[in-house]
Chain A
Amino acid sequence: MKMRVRQAINTALADEMRSDESVILMGEDVAVAGGPFKTSEGLLDEFGPLRVRDTPISEMAFTGAAVGAASMGLRPVAEIMFIEFLGVALDTVVTEAAKFRFLSGGRVTVPMTVRASVGSGLGFGMQHSQTLENWFSATPGLCLVTISDAQSAYSLTRAAIRHDGPVVVFEPRALYAVRGDVTTGDDAIATIGKAQIVRPGKDVTIVASGQTVGIAMAATAVAGIDAEIIDLSTIVPWDRTCVFESVARTGRLIVVEEGPASGGWGHEIVSSATSQLFSELKAAPFRICSPDVPVPYTPALEARYLPTSELVARQLGGYLATGNVPSPWWQTEKGMF
C-alpha cells in the first residue's frame, strides 16, 4: 500500500496500540491536533484520552514520566517535536532510562520509545534542524534507530515499541511527506540492530542513514556505479556483520552522513571497518558528511549542509577511479569563498 512516511508512522502506532494495551502515546499536541507533523491523527478517537495524551510544554516531565511508566510495565511512546527539545530532558533518557536495567541487576526494564523529528532541509533554522545522534550515541543501553522511507518508518516504529529497552527513533522531518510502498502487519516488523542492504553491488559499500539513504541511491544511479548501499537503520548498536561482510566483498567503504564532520556516528563505522578489515581494503574508507557548522537558514546555504547526490556522485567517481580519498567540498572550494 502506498503511504507517506507520516502515515506509516501513524499506522505503526495504531497497530501497536491495537495489539498491546500497554502502549500509550504522550507529547505536545499529539492528541487533539493529531500531532504537529500529523503522525498521530485519529489515535485519540480510537484509543481515548488515557492512552493518547497532550502534554504541557514540559519535555523533562513527560519524558521522565515515560521512564517511570515503562518501569511499571507500560510501553510509552514520547513524541519530541524537534530533537533539540530533548536537550532539556537528556538526563531522563541517557542517565535514567538507559541505566535502569544495569542499575537493577536486570530487574527493572524500560521499554520506552522516544520519537523525534530531526534534520535539515525545511528552513527551520539552526535550533530546529540538527540530527544530534551524537548526543546519545555513547550511551550503552540506549538504542538509536533512524527511519529512511515509509517502509522503515512502519517497521522500525513497531520494532522500537516492542523492544524491551529504551529506543530513540530519529524521524527525518523532510521525509514525512514522502510516499512509498509499505507492507504492514506483524511480518513487517523490523529487527533492532539489523541493517538493510537496499541496493546490492560489488564495487563499493555505501553506508547511509535517514535522508542520506535516498541521496546515496540517487548518486549511485547518476554516476552509474555498482555500489552496495546499506541503510544502517540502527545507529546503536549497529550491524557489524552486515557492514563487514559487505566491505569484505567490495573492498571499499564510504559513509554518507547528515551531521557535522566532527564526532559523527560514521567515524565508528569507518574506524571499526578499517581496523577489522585492513588487509582486505582496496582503498581507504572515508565519510561524506556536513561541515562543522550550525545549520544555516537561507535555502541556498542549507542545501549545501546536507551532502547532495551530485556531490556524492562526484566524490564516489573520483574515489573509484583513483583510489584516493577526495577532500571535503569546503576544503577544495575554500579559495572560492
Chain B
Amino acid sequence: MNFELNIMLLQLKELHVSIKGKEIIHGLNLEVKAGEVHAIMGPNGTGKSTLALAIAGKEGYEITAGEVIFNGLVINEMPPEERARLGIFLGFQYPVEIPGVSLTNFMRTAINEVREYRGLPPMPAGEFLKMMEEKKQLVEIQSKLTNRSVNEGFSGGEKKKNEIFQMAMLEPMLAVLDETDSGLDIDALKIVANGVNMLRRPDNATIVITHYQRLLTYIVPDFVHVIYNGKIVRSGGKELALELEEKGYDWIKKELNV
C-alpha cells in the first residue's frame, strides 16, 4: 500500500456546533495530519465531548457554521455510518450497552458493511474469527466477553478495553478517543494506552480527549490543545500537558482574564 506521509486527515475550520439551539463550540480550528497524535484537554463542560460527537456525526449536534473536512471531503452533513466507513472512529466516553446483540455479531456486521462500502466481499468466517482472537489479545480482553451482549454487565475497564478492541478491528484512519481514561485503574489504563500505541501507524492519526495529564504519560502526544469555552485557547507540544497538570486549569482562566 502506498501512502503519502503528512497527508492532512482532518481539518476543522471555524467550526460552530449547537445542541438544541445552544452554541457549544464557537469557531474552532484544528488540523490533524497522518502519523500524529493530538491531545485535547480542558476543564469539564467546555465542549470536548461535543467536539468528538460532532466529528462522529451524532444527530442533534448541529454544525451551524464552518467545516469538518476529512481527507479533503467536507463531511458536515454526512451520516455517522458513512464517516465510520471513510475511516473515522469514535471511542465513547460512555460506551452504550446493547442487550441481545453479541459483540461478535456486532463486529461482523460492522466489518462487512464497511467492506461492502469499499467494494469488498464479506470477510470469510474463519478469517474474521482469527482477527477477533488477535485483536482481543491486543487489549487483553477476555474471550467470554465477545459472546456476551455488547457492553452489558461489563465493568468500566472492560467497556473501555472494548472500545479499543473495536478500534483495532475496524482499523480507522482517524480515532477520536473521548475520555478513554475516565474510570480506569492504572493497570487498565496501561493496557488501553498500549493498545492505542500498537495501533499507531504513519498513515493514521489519533485525537485523545482527556481531562488529566495521566493518560498522556502512556500515549505521548505530538500536540496538546487546550479547549475552553468552545475554542482552542492554547496549543503546544507535550510539555503543555505537564504545565497544565502543575498549574491547573485556573491558570488558563486567569491568562484569559475570565
Physical interaction between A and B: no
Write the residues of chain B forming the contact surface with A, with a CB cutoff of 8 angstroms: none
